[in-house]
Amino acid sequence: MATREIFWNIGDWGYILYGLLLPLAIILAYAVYRRYRLWQVGQPDNRLDNLPQRMWSFAITGIVDGLIHRRFLREPYPGLIHFLIFWGAIVFLLAAFLDFLSHYIFEFMHGATYLGISFTVDVLGIGLLIGLVFATYRRYIQKPDRLDNKPENAISLTLIFVIVFTGFIIEGLRIAYFTANPAEFETIYPAIGPYDTSWALWSPGGWVFAKMFGSISSGALLLAHMSLWWFHTALALGTIVYVALTWTTLAHIVVGPFNVLFRSSRPKGALAPVELEEAETFGVDKISGFTWKQIFDLDACTRCGRCQDICPAYLSGKALSPKKLIQDLKQHWIEVAPEMVVANIVASSGNPGNSNIEGKSPPLKRRILQYFDRYTFVLGPELMAKVGLGGKRMNGNGQKREISMIGDVITAEVIL
């Protein structure tokens, strides 16, 4: 009866992985908290109204546009790429969860169930690798006008590819070892007996590598397996930390679903009511004039360029690119929002006239929060990596001046 040991060849050292989950959870919580504070520089906007209706709409959209990929597949080539990568990632996460359930809750990963899951995971994992190859070809060889390439794109594609590829190699090393030493399997599972080499065919990704490793000694297979397992694990955990701290495009995995949940329940195109007699200003001239949800929309943009491809103004040769406009606004928000958050914290401490957080000593809890906010926002990765000027630019006299959203970010040629 086919099965496999969760931490085969790793032993009790594998439980170190569980010890890393707490700091990983803290890093993720910190990253989401930091981003949440940046979103909140916008105006209030209730997006939890009609919650049952929202949840129902979210579920339907998740099935139709998420699992089935209806909207993505309107463009067959990029839609297929996303479909392959999406489903490969989903199945890997699901397989890890099932492994956990089988190992700690109730054992079911054996026999036909195990072989079926193994085959599904391997096939979709191979599909994921194919999707990554297609994505790389499209982005760096075909270079469609709608795509702009940043280092984070290459880093993300490389990290995912290496994680999946090394996973197949690890599987191949395990299969190769038990193929050469079938009796060893019986020492782990006496009730099952020796390893049946036909089981390997249900793991096509690993089986290919197992064929390549057939002439390697058992000792070398064990050493290579253990070394690569730790590399694979460290890289997977490191990727999560990388995405959390830099908030690259891969963060849309977190932001995207919430953006669907919080979308407007009003008819598409409906304008928000404006009190003409009470309004002091009309329109938006600074980033804090947007609602938090509009800022959230900026952050959810993945630079896919679909809006640019169907924009009449852009297609007619105008300077307006909706993708660039959104990205410019997002960049402006990233530049100015951290200092806005810190200013709000300082103001709420009862010392609005002094930005020095050591001013009038507030309660200890608030002081800790001030230090936390000041050094994680003002010196956060976004500012350090992207601007370093704290929402200011140099004027002709070499002095820093405040960035204006209208004029500096949204230029006259775009507006006109």
For residue 205, is it within any domain? yes
241 and 151 fall within a common domain? yes
Strand partners of residue 43: 291
Q: Which residues contact 258 (CB under 8 A, 6 or more apart)?
A: 296
pLDDT per residue as tens digits for the range 66-110? 999 999 999 999 999 999 999 999 999 999 999 999 988 999 999
3-state DSSP assignment of residue 268: coil
Summarised one tens digit per residue, pLDDT across range 335-392 is 888 888 877 776 766 655 444 444 444 455 455 455 545 445 444 444 433 433 445 5
Does 161 fall in a domain?
A: yes
The total of other beta-carbon atoms located within 10 Å of residue 197's CB is 14
pLDDT of residue 36: 92
d(CA 225, CA 8): 10
Question: Which one, of 408, 381, 415, lies nearest residue 394 by Cα?
Answer: 408
Of 228, 261, 294, the residue that ends a domain is 261
> For 41-62, b where at least 16 C-beta lie within 10 A, e where not — what string?
bbeeeebeeeeeebeeebeebe
281 located within any domain: no
For 179-205, how does the pLDDT look when each residue is reduced to its tens digit (9 = 90+)?
A: 999 999 988 888 888 999 999 999 999
- Same-domain check for residues 382 and 237: no
Spatial distance between the Cα atoms of 26 and 11, rounded to a whole number of angstroms: 26
- Span 156-171, average pLDDT: 98
Average pLDDT, the chain: 85
Which residues form the domain of 207?
A: 11-31+47-261
Instruction: Label residue 183 exposed, middle or buried (CB < 10 Å: 0-12, 13-18, 19+).
Output: exposed
* Position 352 in a domain: yes
- pLDDT 10s digits, 109-139: 999 999 999 999 999 999 999 999 999 999 9
Q: Most confidently modeled of 30-34, 368-372, 392-396? A: 30-34
In tens, the pLDDT along 134-163 reads 999 999 999 999 999 999 999 999 999 999
Q: Which of 229, 261, 293 is where one domain is finished?
A: 261
- Asked if residue 239 and residue 309 are part of one domain, the reply reads no
If asked whether residues 245 and 319 sit together in one domain, one would say no
The 10 Å CB-count burial string (b at 16+, else e) for 223-246 is ebbbebbeebbeebbebeebbbbb
Alpha-carbon distances, residue 112 vs 117, 118, 119, 174, 296 (angstroms): 8, 10, 10, 19, 45
Instruction: State yes or no: pLDDT of 275 exceeds 90.
Output: no
* 310 and 248 in a common domain: no
Least confident of 112-121, 164-173, 260-269, 346-355: 346-355
Last residue of a domain, one of 198, 229, 261: 261
Is 387 part of any domain?
yes
Q: How far apart are CA 272 and CA 286, in angstroms?
A: 18
302-331 pLDDT, tens digit per residue, is 999 999 999 999 999 888 899 999 999 999
In a domain, 300, yes or no: no
Instruction: Work out the end-to-end distance of the chain between its first and last CA atoms, rounded to an integer number of angstroms.
Output: 71
Please report whether residue 274 resides in a domain. no
Which 8-state DSSP code applies to residue 392? Answer: E
pLDDT (average), residues 270-279: 68
> Do residues 75 and 185 both lie within one domain?
yes
Bridge partners of 410, per DSSP, are: 406
The pLDDT-based confidence of 412 (bands split at 50, 70, 90) is confident
Domain count, the chain: 2
Query: Which tokens is 235 given?
Result: 């890289």
pLDDT band at 279 (very low <50, low <70, confident <90, very high): low
pLDDT at residue 265 greater than cutoff 90: no
pLDDT at 375: 47
- How open is the CA angle 124-257-342, to the nearest 5 degrees? 130
Residue 139 in domain:
yes
Q: Scan for tokens 């640019």, then name that residue.
A: 308
343 and 397 inside one domain: yes
